[in-house]
Amino acid sequence: MAKRLILASNNAKKLRELQALIAPLGVELVTQGSLGIPEAEEPHITFVENALAKARHAAAAASGPALADDSGLCVDALGGAPGVRSARHAVDAGRIAEGLPREQIDAANNDWLLTQMAGQAHRGAHFSCVLVAVRHADDPEPLIAEGQWRGALLSAPQGEHGFGYDPLLWIPTHGQSAAQLDPAIKNAVSHRALACTRLLEMMRARWGLDAQSATPKALAATAWPWQGSAS
C-alpha cells in the first residue's frame, strides 16, 4: 500500500495523468467519487479559488489530505475565456444540455469555441492548470502550483488522444495538436505536468517527502510524515 491522497475529481483521464506524475512519491490517488464524496461547488472566477475550494471539500469529507486541480483553456482573443468555465462552455451558452456524457459535452465545447473563433486571425491560447494540495480541510498552508502550456487554436480538431480541448490546441514546439501527442510526451510537457513538477517539489520540501525519504520502506508507508510512523 501507499500513502493515500484524495483527488477532488472523478475524471478518469485526469486521474491517469496525475497518478503517473505523482507516482515517484509513493502516493496513490483515490478519486472522491470512489469514496462517495460529491463534487464541490465551483462558484469562483479564478482557477486557484476553485481548486482550493475543491481540495478543502474533499479533505473535509475524507478526513485526510487532498489534491484538487482546476484547469482550462484561456483564449487571448476572448479575453481569457472560457477559462474556469471551460468544461461548461457550451452548456453555459445553451448549446447542449447539462448532464450528458463527458465526451458529448467536450465535442460541443469544441464546436462552440470554433464557432466563436471563426474568421479570427489572432488564435493564441494556452492551457492553464492550478494544483492545490492540503494536509487537512483547515490547512493554513495549502500547496499551490501553476502551469501554463501555450499554443494556437486550430480551425478543426486534430488527434485522438487526451480530452477536453486537446484536439484544438496546436503545440508549435512539437508540430502537433495536444491530442496528437503520445500520452507519455504530453505527461512530460503539459500544463498539468508543469504544475505537478512544481507541486512535487513543494511536497518534498514542505510535507517531508524529500529525496532522503524515497527508500523502499518510506515509499511503502501508508502514513504521511505528520501522522506518525504507522505503516
Say if CB 114 and CB 156 are below 8 A apart. Answer: yes
Catalytic-residue membership of 139? no
Written as nine digits, the cell of 136 is 487537512
Q: Using CB atoms within 10 A of its CB, is residue 21 exposed (0-12), middle (13-18) or buried (19+)?
A: buried
Q: How far apart are CA 119 and CA 117, in angstroms?
A: 6
Contact criterion met (CB below 8 Å) for 6 and 30? yes
Q: Which of 133, 134, 176 is nearest to 152 (CA)?
A: 176
Q: At 57, give phi and psi (nearest 5°).
A: -60, -50
Of 159, 115, 139, 121, which is closest to residue 65 (Cα–Cα)? 139
If DSSP codes are grouped into helix, strand and coil, which group holds residue 182?
coil
Residue in 69, 70, 106, 166 annotated catalytic? 70
Within 10 angstroms of residue 18's Cβ, the number of other Cβ atoms is 25
Distance CA 151, CA 83 (A): 15
Helix axes 12-22, 191-206, angle to 10 degrees: 50
Whether 203 contacts 5, CB under 8 Å = no
Q: Which residues are catalytic?
A: 70
